[in-house]
Amino acid sequence: MLLSLDENQIDIWQTSVSLFQENHAIGELEAMLTESDLEAIALIRRPSEKLVKIVSRAFLRSVLAKYTGLAPQAIQFERGWHGKPQLVNEGLSLEFNLCHSDNVLACALSKKKPIGVDVERIRFKRNLIRLGHTVFSEDEKISHL
Cα–Cα dist 31/28, whole Å:
5
Give the three-state DSSP class for 129: helix
CATH 3.90.470.20 fits 10-144, yes or no: yes
Domain map of the chain by residue range? 10-144
Cα–Cα dist 104/106, whole Å:
7
DSSP assignments along 37-83, one per residue: HHHHHHT---HHHHHHHHHHHHHHHHHHHHHH-S-GGG--EEE-GGG
Give strand pairing partners of 97. 108
pLDDT of residue 142: 80
Chunk the chain into consecutive blocks of 10 residues (it has 145) and report each block's average pLDDT, rounded to whole numbers.
Answer: 92 96 95 96 96 97 96 93 87 91 95 91 76 85 79
Taken as a whole, the chain contains a residue count of 145
